[in-house]
Structure 1
Amino acid sequence: MPLSLGTITQTAFMTRDIRASIDHFVTNLGVGPWFMIEGGSFAECYYRGAPSKVRLTTAFAYARGMEFELMQLDNDEPSMWRDALQQPFELHSFHHWCHWPDDYTATLNEALERGYRVYQDGRTTRGRFVYLDHPALGEILEITERTPERRAFQQQVAEAGMRWDGQQKIVTDWA
C-alpha cells in the first residue's frame, strides 16, 4: 500500500538565520515575497505528547505551484525544531513536506492506520496541525487543518507570489 496521503502542497526548511535564508531563496531561486511571523507561539503545542512552549519565527512564500516555509527556532524548548538543529547544516536544511487535506481528522486517522506516528502536534489561531514520522520513510509529514482562516492566509501568500515583481523580500504587515 502506498504511504501517500495526498498532494504535497508545501515544502519546509529549517534555518539558523531566517533572513539569510530568505535572501538566498529570493536571489538564487526567485521565491518571494516572504510573509514573516516573528517569535510566534502556539495556542497549544505538544512534543511527543508533552506540552511545549516553543517559539518560532516562520516565513511563507509561494512560487511555481508550491508554498515554501522557512522556520527558525527562537527558544530552547523541547521540539522537533530543536531536534532538527542537532543535525549539521550551513544555511538551511529540508525539514518536512506538508499536505492540506479537505478532511483533517479522516486523513490523520488514515495516516495513523498506515503506521505514521505523531511527532509534534497542536493548534494555532488558524487551526490544528500535526507532524508525523514513519519508521520506513525517515521523513516528516505535516498535516494541516484547512480552516477558513488558514485558507485565506494560504490564498494571500499564493496571490502575492504570483504577482511578485522581485522588489519586496519580506512582508510583515499582512495581518
Structure 2
Amino acid sequence: MSRLLGPVRQNGYVVRDIEKAMKYWSETMGVGPWFYIEKPPIEAFEYKGQPSQPDISIALANSGPLQIELIQQRNDAPSMYRDFLQAGHEGLQHVAYWTTDFDGTLAKCLAAGWRIGHRGQIGARGRFLYFESTGHPGTVIELSEISGNKGKFFEKIAREAESWDGSNAIRRL
C-alpha cells in the first residue's frame, strides 16, 4: 500500500487489440464480466498541458478487489498510451489510485514533485490524470476521482464480478 495514496485499486493494460485481450482475460484468466465502452465520453483531455483527442476504447472488470482496465488507442493523437505503444510496449502501463478528495490528493502529489503527463474527465466528479514516469514500463501512476457516477459504476463492476458465472463475458455499453 502506498503511504501517500493508499491501496492500488486498478491495473491498467494498454493493448493493441482490446477484443483479443478481453477474450484472453475472460477465457484463460477467468476474469469478468467485461464492461466494454468503445468510445468513452472523455472531456477536456490534455497531454503535457496541450489539448489532444485520443480515440480510445476501454474495458473494465474486477479480479477480487482489483479492477483490471484494458485500453486500446485507435488513433495517433498524443497521449501516454500512444507513447507506451510507440516505445514498443504492450501490457501493464499504469496502476491507479482512487480518491474522493481529488484536489487534496493531487496537491500532495504535486508537492512531492510529481508532474502530470495527461489528464481528462469522464462526467461530473470523474477527473483522472496520469503522472509522468521516469521509471520502468508499467509504473505510471493514475489518480482517479470516484466521487460521482464513475465511482458508482466501478462499484457495479465489482458486484457483477463477485457473482459472475462465466456467461455473457463482454457487456458492450
Question: What TM-score comes out, normalization by structure 2 length?
Answer: 0.91
SS, match of residue 151 in structure 1: helix
- Quote the Cα distance in structure 2 between the aligned partners of 1:143 and 1:49: 16
CA RMSD of aligned residues (A): 1.8
- Quote the Cα distance in structure 1 between the aligned partners of 2:39 and 2:99: 27
- The equivalent residue for 2:74 is 74
- Quote the Cα distance in structure 1 between the aligned partners of 2:47 and 2:74: 16
Distance change (3 Å), C-alpha of 1:38 and 1:136: closer
Offset at 1:53?
1.1
Q: Any stretches of 5+ residues in structure 1 without a counterpart?
A: none
Name segments (4+ residues, structure 1) moved above 6 Å.
none
| Residue pair 2:98, 2:145 contacting (<8 A) in 1 also | yes
| Residue pair 1:116, 1:135 contacting (<8 A) in 2 also | no
SS, match of residue 106 in structure 1: helix
Q: Any stretches of 5+ residues in structure 2 without a counterpart?
A: none
Name the amino acid aligned to 2:11: T
- The equivalent residue for 2:153 is 153
Offset at 1:39?
2.6
Q: How does 1:84-163 map to 2 (within 5 A)?
A: 84-89=84-89, 92-126=90-124, 127-135=126-134, 139-163=139-163
| Residue pair 1:41, 1:56 contacting (<8 A) in 2 also | no
- Quote the Cα distance in structure 1 between the aligned partners of 2:55 and 2:3: 31
- The equivalent residue for 1:44 is 44
- Quote the Cα distance in structure 2 between the aligned partners of 1:118 and 1:16: 24
Percent of aligned positions with the same letter in both sequences? Answer: 31
- Quote the Cα distance in structure 2 between the aligned partners of 1:136 and 1:74: 26
